[in-house]
């Protein structure tokens, strides 16, 4: 039969979740027309379109600005480092890299989210405020009640003239635009009606940039 020592080897399981990553490192390149400043892991990105500040101090990640790195590349970079982390913790490095990249994209190219008004019988009417910071949804499913929506800071909404039944949200922070679209979408609730039959609502149709670079 199998001896006890051999059986003991068979029963050993490798717990990957407890394995540590000694160092996870990543870099974000900073364009010439963008200025990045970091203080106490609070990152501020300044560009032609404006300024975004986001806190990154909820994770123990070293964030530093370097002029050059040893990767045969020239220019400014943001270096992200996490030491002695588990696999799941080290994943935050890539998340932070994506967030900073989106901040740079926002202050240079700008984000634009488009939404389409979908209705079967009762036409949905959108009234955007003059300052473009709030809007009213009128006549949704023929209801008398209007839905007032305050847009988050940094997001502006407009009715497009060239495309029928379309809303456009512009801004430099994609998180603010996503929140604005979510508020508009969730205001159009059909209640207890059958969602296979009542398809009315306002839905995101496109996520793009205001001035995309080639």
The pLDDT profile of the chain, 214 residues, written as one tens digit per residue, is 444 444 444 444 445 556 788 889 999 999 999 999 999 999 999 999 999 999 999 999 999 998 876 656 778 899 999 988 888 888 999 999 999 999 999 999 999 999 999 999 999 999 999 999 999 999 999 999 999 999 999 999 999 989 999 999 999 999 999 999 999 999 999 999 999 999 999 999 999 999 998 7
Within the chain, where are the H helices?
4-11, 87-108, 174-187
Pairwise CA distance, residues 174 & 207, whole Å: 10
Residues 31/108, Cβ–Cβ less than 8 Å: yes
Q: Give the chain's end-to-end CA distance (angstroms, integer).
A: 70
How far are the Cα atoms of 59, 77, 124 from residue 92, in angstroms, in the given order? 8, 18, 42
Question: Which pTM was predicted?
Answer: 0.85
Q: Which two tokens stand for residue 71?
A: 């990767």
In angstroms, rounded to a whole number, what is the distance separating the alpha carbons of residues 121 and 193?
Answer: 15
| Opening angle at CA 18, ends 16 and 21, nearest 5 | 85
- Return the beta strands (E) in 61-146 as ranges: 62-69, 73-86, 111-118, 125-128, 134-138
Using CA atoms, how far residue 65 sits from 30, 38, 189, in Å, is 9, 8, 46
Task: Name the burial class of residue 111, with classes exposed (0-12), middle (13-18) and buried (19+) by CB atoms within 10 angstroms of its CB.
Answer: buried
């Amino acid at each position: 039969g199998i001896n006890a020592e051999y059986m003991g080897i068979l029963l050993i399981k490798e717990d990957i979740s407890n394995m540590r990553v000694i160092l996870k490192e990543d870099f974000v390149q900073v364009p010439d027309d963008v200025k990045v400043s970091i203080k106490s892991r609070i990152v501020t990105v300044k560009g032609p379109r404006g300024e975004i500040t986001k806190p990154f101090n909820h994770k123990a990640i070293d964030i530093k600005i370097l002029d050059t790195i040893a990767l045969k590349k020239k220019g400014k970079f943001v270096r992200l480092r996490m030491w002695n982390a588990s696999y799941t913790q080290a994943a935050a490095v890539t998340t932070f890299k994506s967030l900073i990249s989106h901040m740079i994209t926002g202050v240079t190219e700008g984000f634009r989210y488009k939404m389409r008004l979908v209705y079967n019988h009762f036409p949905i009417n959108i009234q955007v405020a003059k300052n473009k910071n709030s809007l009213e949804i009128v006549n949704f499913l023929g209801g008398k009640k209007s839905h007032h929506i305050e847009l988050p800071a940094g997001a502006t909404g407009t009715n497009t003239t060239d495309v029928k039944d379309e809303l456009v949200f512009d801004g430099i922070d994609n998180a603010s635009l996503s929140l604005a679209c979510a508020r508009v979408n969730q205001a159009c609730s059909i209640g207890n009606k059958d969602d296979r039959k009542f398809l009315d609502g306002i839905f995101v149709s496109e996520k793009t940039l205001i001035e995309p670079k080639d």
